[in-house]
Structure 1
């Protein structure tokens, strides 16, 4: 028992010193009260204490989740949009046209060409020398379905072609009802060796067969007056008159009437039927007609069974 007294006293001394240090708010365990004499208590801080910063682990997680700043993200979005626009923009811009021409069925003749472009469907129509539609007898024969997609409507004079690549070339064979020879059309969607930035394509190509088809329109027009291979009349019919043609103002007449003059000849373009004597004529698949006739101050047309006149200003 006497040996335990010094140990008990030591424990009491240590505990009393720890309590004293905690009561004064200063010091560390084992510090005596004399070490705090003369110290000034800290005044309380008003307001809300700031939140502590992110821990290193939280900062690492935030960097993994959002490694870029908002400004950097917006800048990358602009660059991505510019890249997508550049990829979507065609290398060569296209100008769609509606064209018409007469097919030559003679040996050694050149094939008609259908000008195509990627992502653009082109339509081909057939008509006879009288302007009547000439229907297909069978589906068009496509030798390479990997290069061209060809669709048609049975018993119609129309089929469409859609190229699958930007630089495709080939042909298609078409059989028309009652025509003993096939019509072969060259197909091309561009020349890889060309550096032009813009080119024309055939949005619609009207092919005229120089014969009367199964749906030939009955009319008084002699075949000799149908100018199937006249480039001048074809230019007027396409709405692109040749150099030297002067368009005349017209009083009266049916809708969509256009009149040009070259020398002593008038070139009349209209959908209505001309009643006057003419020298040559040509028609398109949509029913538009072109007439060549001597200069005259009065033109007479038949519109829905009635007579309509027009007066071109010759001076």
Structure 2
């Protein structure tokens, strides 16, 4: 029995091997579309071309296995259950610390702060004045000549600075202002543009230009003086008149006669330079002893003495006084002694040539 079973198994294996070899050796037959159509017509089935046409016309399903992996679209993940995102808020202390750290990183160093201040200051300086260089401030005494044919004096102004005009007579007494006329479009003046009724009278007027290069004039009428005082106003000059002591001749109704200098002659333009303490370059300074704040010069065969006191002896030929009380006296010749009264007492000063004083020493 065992031998018979083995023999049957061997016969089956031999037959299977023979069939496989025959199948491998069978030639492949190529069928053309026309032959396929004939065979199909004989069998009553649609041809391959017709089947392909029907497949093209209809929305046939494409086998996913025929698409390469690189040509497949990415998976959307729709339908999958995804866990909701969890928002984790930082602690309040952490937020505060991070904010403080950011603020500290934005802080300027002391050197940077100082540099920023310097830049701001420089910009402020440039904006504070419309001029390239600030004008030189000047205070001076001005003799006003009201005669016809004389050019009115000029007052030099500057934007951002107040120029003051003080009116007085030759004795230095205040001469009050009655009325002021000025172009308020180009200039600003408290008396001319903003004067209120009932304002107390004064002998001082302040003027400020509204434009860096303003030009015009001002007319001032003084009490008891029929002729108006006219000044030309200009701005943008190298110098600016901070204060101008305008001195006029004539009767001043506001003067106190008890302290006026009786018989005082008129003052000339040269004397105003000595009165301001700025004598001509050719004037020679003299040495004065015996009283403070007394100066003397020799100029053009005359002697000029500047003092804050009243000269008594010898007689002077011309004199003038500013509104500050400073006086200038002109003598026909050089004297070695001059007597003044100050503080209710008489004081005699000694005047000598500075060269002689140096040689004596």
For normalisation by structure 1, the TM-score amounts to: 0.68
**Aligned equivalents of 1:234, 1:213: Cα separation in 2:** 20
Counterpart check, 1:143 vs 2:183: yes
Q: Deviations over 1:146-178 (max 9, x none)?
A: 321101463111111122221111111111111
**Aligned equivalents of 2:300, 2:159: Cα separation in 1:** 43
**Aligned equivalents of 1:172, 1:263: Cα separation in 2:** 36
Go from structure 1 to structure 2 and tell me whether the alpha carbon gap of 1:263 and 1:103 turns closer, same or farther (over 3 Å shift): closer
Equivalent residue for 1:306, pick from 345, 354, 361: 345
Equivalent residue for 1:243, pick from 267, 276, 281: 281
**Aligned equivalents of 1:137, 1:263: Cα separation in 2:** 40
The answer to whether the Cα contact below 8 Å between 2:138 and 2:242 also exists between their aligned partners in 1 is yes
Equivalent residue for 1:155, pick from 186, 201, 223: 201
Question: Displacement of 1:262 after TM fit?
Answer: 2.5
The answer to whether the Cα contact below 8 Å between 2:171 and 2:322 also exists between their aligned partners in 1 is no
3-state SS of paired residue (1:302): strand
The answer to whether the Cα contact below 8 Å between 1:127 and 1:206 also exists between their aligned partners in 2 is yes
The answer to whether the Cα contact below 8 Å between 2:341 and 2:347 also exists between their aligned partners in 1 is yes
For 1:194-209, list aligned pairs within 5 A: 199-209=238-248
Tell me the equivalent position of 1:39. Answer: none
Equivalent residue for 2:210, pick from 149, 157, 164: 164
For 1:170-189, list aligned pairs within 5 A: 170-189=216-235
3-state SS of paired residue (1:249): strand
**Aligned equivalents of 1:122, 1:160: Cα separation in 2:** 5
The answer to whether the Cα contact below 8 Å between 1:130 and 1:212 also exists between their aligned partners in 2 is no
The answer to whether the Cα contact below 8 Å between 2:224 and 2:251 also exists between their aligned partners in 1 is no
Tell me the equivalent position of 1:102. Answer: 143
Q: Deviations over 1:73-123 (max 9, x none)?
A: 877776555444433354231221111111111222111211111111111
Q: Which runs of no fewer than 5 residues in structure 2 stay unpaired?
A: 1-102, 192-198, 357-361
**Aligned equivalents of 1:101, 1:76: Cα separation in 2:** 46
Q: Which runs of no fewer than 5 residues in structure 1 stay unpaired?
A: 1-64, 192-198
Question: Displacement of 1:247 after TM fit?
Answer: 1.4
For normalisation by structure 2, the TM-score amounts to: 0.60
Question: Displacement of 1:221 after TM fit?
Answer: 3.5
**Aligned equivalents of 1:167, 1:156: Cα separation in 2:** 28
Q: Deviations over 1:249-301 (max 9, x none)?
A: 21112x31111122542210012000011111122222211111121111100
Question: Displacement of 1:217 after TM fit?
Answer: 4.8
Bigger helix fraction: 2
Question: Displacement of 1:189 after TM fit?
Answer: 1.4
